[in-house]
Structure 1
């Protein structure tokens, strides 16, 4: 546990120093792009923070090579170096996009290439659990499924990067939960390279995002851009595949049927919001005859702003949903009964719905008082205010 903490701290410190240096350079050379129509911010803001995060990832991995707990991982596998290679490719594509707005097909090609590199080096789904057995598909099918899922997660995380601190905070919460899960796996099933690698990646992501968040919190001095969001998505997908596709969950706890599916449930759960946002965005754009990667201002975080939430409130709601889902899934794995996990999920969902929907009713009442929204039949503005 101490080695993971030291790696996270090293990644955080380097990311913070690199962010400060990049912010100074961006201001000196005026590298902040013009504000776009779909942007929430109104002041040109540098979006090269992903470079600092990339530096933090590299240093975190290199620092891990000095820790005895990871010696076997580095000695017996080339997967860590493949991860660094994939991150380098994504960082290059992301920086070019942040500076010049690359065509979406070029970005997608870079994402597929990075995912393919990792799958080629053995970080891929080799089986899926089904009860007490595992389904093993063909090598080609496993490769294609891995590349698809990694690319999906990268874009899902990138799609929610629209508010100050949203992706960084989401990644800290979800990867902290996933890291705890890897430690529980190690305690129950013994240390394995796949789980150690997943825990190391999660620790590095947490460290990098902790180091960058002070520069990205509202009002943001710097954005992570596509570079940072795609890197976070790539690493989250990598840690997920490392556990989900290569570990036999049936050996974890024969008395808990649902627990055998936790390697699939937890990664999907912590990514529920970005995956939902991505799916809705793709469907919305395809129905409108647009490219699925065409930018718009109809993401979930934009809708929260339209409901009357401030930026900080909208981001906090995302944090709350992520924390509730992650905690409920971890409790399923640790508790002998499903009562507490489902109680936490039910109570947490109710709380999330309340904090999500209450400002919408207040906004509707305010618009009605100003005559900007039709009143409900038989209602006066005072009645509308009272009823809300």
Structure 2
């Protein structure tokens, strides 16, 4: 694990340094688009963060490829898979940068995403061979390919759709990839594997570092945005990590590994295989609502609007920083709660998730109670001022006052 974390730190350092370079280049040459109606920032900001993140990813993977510890990931017949990942990532970043500057139409972006997913699935052989539902095996090659393409494209757009607040996607990616790194590491231990790392473990650790290096310049108030290049890259890499681990793992492996698992532990094992879905609940909910909303309005599901979940939090009265932290909290509760099934009693895990969700819900809805209190105060103020005015005009004109008191 230490070697993996060192590689992630290299990715973080390169991402941070390149973020500074991209920020200065963007300001120096005014490489930033005009502010759109749906944007929440008020000053022009470069969107070249995705390039910096991509550079950090390349540097970390290049270093890992030179370490014998990671030889099973980069060699031993896996060269086409690594090449396909790099090609797909390059295509996504290039397309994202073009979209940030020239605002590509949604069909062009969708075609580019499908091609990138096809490179991974068809050329690299990175496909969902099984589902985390009792180890169901997908026997049809075409079914496996289609399901993989849909999964990759959907996950990329999930991350892209929620990218609307300073530090939002970077922070969620750190939490999600950190949880998935621990999950895949412990899952390999429980399965009795000779290696405690895999492609998914390495990718999730590296993306954790890359996003951590980018976050300082993206934190509120942001000086640099990751743009579509960054958000799509984050989604692509998370899909790669998830498919490489979850797509080929059978929950019953945990029960047969002899690592202290019994039939009573089947639920935790099953739940953990759904961790990629669990930690993507918040982006997934935003994605689903956006697609339904736009189709119902007769628009393309990829058309932009100002009705995402982060926009709704702002409209409720949250500040941009508070809205970002609330998204972090929801993601952390679900991610950590899912991991607790693996290392703690189920009662502890469910208690953590239940209590955490209640706290998150209260924090999310807090502005509504403040708004009602303010509305009550505004309604009560005219009544109070009227009463005071009457008292000032005729303080003695009240029941029980004598004629002598009134004349005085």
TM-based fold match above 0.5: yes
Checking the alignment, whether the CA contact within 8 Å between 1:73 and 1:193 is kept in structure 2 is: no
Determine the C-alpha separation between the residues in 2 that align with 1:272 and 1:201. 21
> What corresponds to 2:57 in structure 1?
57
Q: Is this contact kept in 2: 1:125–1:241, CA < 8 A? A: yes
Gaps of 5+ in 1: 372-379, 384-388
Number of residue-to-residue matches in the alignment: 373
Given that 1:129 and 1:135 are in contact with CA atoms closer than 8 Å, whether structure 2 keeps it comes out as no
Cα-Cα RMSD: 1.7
Q: For 1:37 and 1:257, how far apart are their aligned partners in 2?
A: 49
Q: CA deviation at 1:137?
A: 3.1
* 1: CA distance, partners of 2:23 / 2:242: 32
3-state SS of paired residue (1:252): helix
- Secondary structure, in 3 states, of the residue corresponding to 2:274? helix
Q: 1:365 aligns with which of 363, 373, 392?
A: 373
Where 1:71 maps in the other structure, the secondary structure is helix
- Aligned partners of 1:5 and 1:268: how far apart in 2? 24
Q: 1:201 & 1:64 partners in 2: Cα distance?
A: 11
Question: Counterpart in 2 of 1:342?
Answer: 350
Q: Does residue 10 of structure 1 match 2:10?
A: yes
User: Where does structure 2 lack aligned partners over 5 or more consecutive residues?
Assistant: 256-261, 384-408
Most deviating of 158-167 and 349-358: 349-358
CA contact (8 A) 1:216 1:223 kept: yes
Within 2, Cα distance between the matches of 1:169 and 1:59? 21
Aligned to 1:303: 312
Is residue 2:36 matched to residue 1:36?
Answer: yes
C-alpha spacing 1:341/1:227, structure 2 compared with 1 (3 Å)? same
Aligned to 1:257, the other structure's residue is in SS state: helix
1:76-95 aligned at under 5 Å gives the runs: 76=76, 77-78=78-79, 79-95=81-97
- Output the TM-score relative to the length of structure 2: 0.88
Indicate the residue corresponding to 1:102 in structure 2.
Answer: 104
Q: CA 1:242 to 1:294, structure 2 compared with 1: closer, same or farther past 3 Å? A: same
Q: Displacement of 1:345 after TM fit?
A: 0.6
Q: 2:136 is paired with a residue of what secondary structure?
A: strand
State the TM-score, normalizing by the size of structure 1: 0.92
How do residues 1-388 of structure 1 correspond to structure 2 at under 5 angstroms?
A: 1-76=1-76, 77-78=78-79, 79-120=81-122, 121-131=124-134, 133-191=135-193, 196-253=198-255, 254-255=262-263, 256-335=265-344, 337-367=345-375, 369-370=377-378, 380=380
Pair member with larger Rg: 2
Structure 1 residue matching 2:183: 3-state secondary structure: helix
Query: CA 1:33 to 1:194, structure 2 compared with 1: closer, same or farther past 3 Å?
Result: farther
Deviation (angstroms), 1:366: 2.5
